[in-house]
Amino acid sequence: MLKEAKFERLARFGYAARGIVYVLIGGMALLTSFGGGEPDSKSALQLVLEQPLGAIWLALIGIGLIGFVLWRLVQAVFNTDRHASDAKGYAVRAALFVSAATYASLAFYALGQALQVGLGGSQSGDEKSWAAWLIQQPFGPYLVGMVAIAIIAAGVAQIVKGMRKSYLKYFGADWERRSLLNGICMYGLVARGAVFLILGGFFLYAAFAVDPSQAGSLADALAWIRQLPFGSILYALVALGLFAFGAYGLIEARFRNIASPTLSDARHALPV
């Protein structure tokens, strides 16, 4: 029981760390709604570093993100959320692996900045770097295209998750009556899903053009939104949505059902 309690605290710490990152991104985006600049996850972490005791806070966020990475891996390997053994279930678990890899990079970046050592790579351009590496591999443009399809699928899944309220199965039976918190969860998921659709579109164009520089980041997606008709309004709505997704992470940290892996889960995870 003690180990399960420690694992649950680690997972909740991870959800909180991810939530804080998105709250910062959304907050920074809201502040620039009618000005210049488009924040991303690393610029949000840089903002933390610039505050009093910033290195300590940033190190805590980095540790929390490592907890989130471990939780994602456990979800994927041990299927603690009990996804069905079908194509959809395996796709969700594969997406959890991708999520773990993404947040591992961000966690190392946060710890590297906090400790002033080079653990996390450059401050920006990770998406372009990944796309450039993939394009250099055999069948590289097809690989980038597959990544694009995966990102788009993840965006659609998040929008559907928010619209259908399918996240409710991970909360208590009375959660739907919490109308305000429920609305925040829905809005945050839909907004982040929409951003994923834009990011997937960037990667898809990079695959067709065989040009990794076309693979955009979150900041690029926000800049693209700003250029649309009524762009300032749409930008503010998306910024508020990213803030809501951060709040959703904090809500998960407090209320989500965390199922620690059991011996039965471990046995089912082993190849037969």
The pLDDT value given to residue 189: 97
The pLDDT value given to residue 19: 95
By the 10 Å C-beta count (0-12 exposed, 13-18 middle, 19+ buried), 109 is classed as buried
Q: What is the pTM of this model?
A: 0.86
- Dist. CA 207–CA 250, nearest whole Å: 35
- Dist. CA 192–CA 190, nearest whole Å: 6
Report the C-alpha dihedral over residues 250, 245, 75, 147, rounded to 10 degrees: -150
Structural domain boundaries of the chain? 2-266
The pLDDT value given to residue 164: 93
Q: Compute φ and ψ for 192, nearest 5 degrees.
A: -65, -35
The pLDDT value given to residue 11: 87
Mean pLDDT per 10-residue run, the chain (272 residues)?
69 93 91 69 84 89 92 86 79 83 87 74 58 82 88 91 91 81 94 94 89 83 89 92 96 87 54 45
Token pair, residue 203, equals 């990667």
- Report which residue type is found at 41: S
* Phi-psi map region of 270: left, alpha, beta (phi>0 left; psi -120 to 50 alpha): beta
The pLDDT value given to residue 46: 85
The pLDDT value given to residue 201: 93
By the 10 Å C-beta count (0-12 exposed, 13-18 middle, 19+ buried), 263 is classed as exposed
Pure H helices in 139-229: 140-163, 179-209, 218-226
Token pair, residue 226, equals 């700003």
The pLDDT value given to residue 263: 53
The pLDDT value given to residue 38: 65
CA atoms within 13 A of residue 199's CA, in its CB half-sphere: 23
- Dist. CA 21–CA 26, nearest whole Å: 9
Token pair, residue 239, equals 């910024």
CA atoms within 13 A of residue 100's CA, in its CB half-sphere: 17
